[in-house]
Amino acid sequence: MSSGEARGQERGRPLVAVLSGAGISTDSGIPDYRGPNGLWRREPEAEKLVTYGPYMSDPDIRRRSWQMRRNSPALRALPNAAHHAVAQLERSGVPVRVITQNVDGLHQLAGLPARKVLELHGTARVVQCTRCKVRSPMTEALDRVAAGEEDPPCLACGGILKSATVMFGERLDPQVLGEAMAVAKACAIFIAVGTSLQVQPAASLAGIAAEHGARLIIVNAEPTPYDDRADELVREPIGTALPALLARLAAEA
């Protein structure tokens, strides 16, 4: 076993890190925001609805944001074959950590323990008060919107509510990012799946893993800036390619 393969062993087996982006959830009906047909390209104005400054200062932006959340497919989506394959890899006994850029919670719904998922950009399934920081289920807030509250305030202090996601203009949680970097440094295999590897600092995790001896595998339809550092590139559809890849890795472990 090489030094790279020996890195990140847990219970005698190598640690597998999975960095997942929007592409892993498109088969669940959740759009890729930055792809050729992504929301940000089709509707550039929509970015304002998830940008912290305009959201906090403009009640109309907040009202439109709540309607966007009501209509979002994310809370209605179900895990697809790729999410289930990651959960199955963990159930097989292979040490797995998921670092996700997604806010849909589908890795957890597929059965991966929440403690093994690092949500870099937060979660759309929870709302948080921007003043007192109290958190509550998104479904409760959306029920209030459906009942006629266009911009529901925090029930505890009256502050402005937002989804517990990292909006444009906000920093990532330093603790979550720190844990993600530690995983990237410790893993033996790092799989970047469904991510363009263009959004920093998440994209840098692939380079950190490679620098620390991990086997880097990129599963993505389009080229990424880290392709030249990858040990393996997979261009096939994620829904079929990732389960096959993870089954092979489980057999090798």
Residue 137 has pLDDT above 50, yes or no: yes
Domain count, the chain: 2
| CATH, residue 229 | 3.40.50.1220
- Tokens encoding 97: 């950590």
Task: For CA atoms 129, 50, 199, 4, give the dihedral sign.
Answer: positive
Same domain, 93 and 215: yes
Domain that holds residue 83: 1-30+78-121+171-253
139-190 pLDDT, tens digit per residue, is 999 999 999 999 999 999 999 999 999 999 999 999 999 999 999 999 999 9
Do residues 68 and 178 both lie within one domain?
A: no
161 and 208 co-located in one domain: no
Q: Are residues 84 and 185 in the same domain?
A: yes
Q: Which of 83, 84, 107, 121 is catalytic?
A: 121
* Pair 156, 175 in one domain: no
Q: What is the pTM of this model?
A: 0.89
Question: Do 243 and 146 lie in a common domain?
Answer: no
> Does residue 107 have an active-site annotation?
no
Among residues of the chain, what percentage have pLDDT more than 70? Answer: 90
Residues 143, 243: one domain? no
Q: How far is CA 98 from CA 95, 187, 189, in A?
A: 10, 11, 12
pLDDT above 50 (res 8): no
User: What is the per-residue pLDDT across 188-227, written as a single tens digit (0 to 9) for each?
Assistant: 999 999 999 998 899 999 999 999 999 999 999 999 999 9
Same domain, 191 and 109: yes
One domain, residues 129 and 182: no
C-alpha count within 13 angstroms, C-beta hemisphere, residue 166: 16
Report in angstroms the alpha-carbon separations of 234 from 42, 193, 194, 223, 253: 27, 9, 10, 10, 20
Task: Judge whether 19 and 99 are in contact, CB under 8 Å.
Answer: yes
* Residues 44, 136 within the same domain: yes
Give yes or no: residues 158 and 247 share one domain: no
User: How far is residue 145's CA from residue 43's CA, in Å, rounded to a whole number?
Assistant: 23
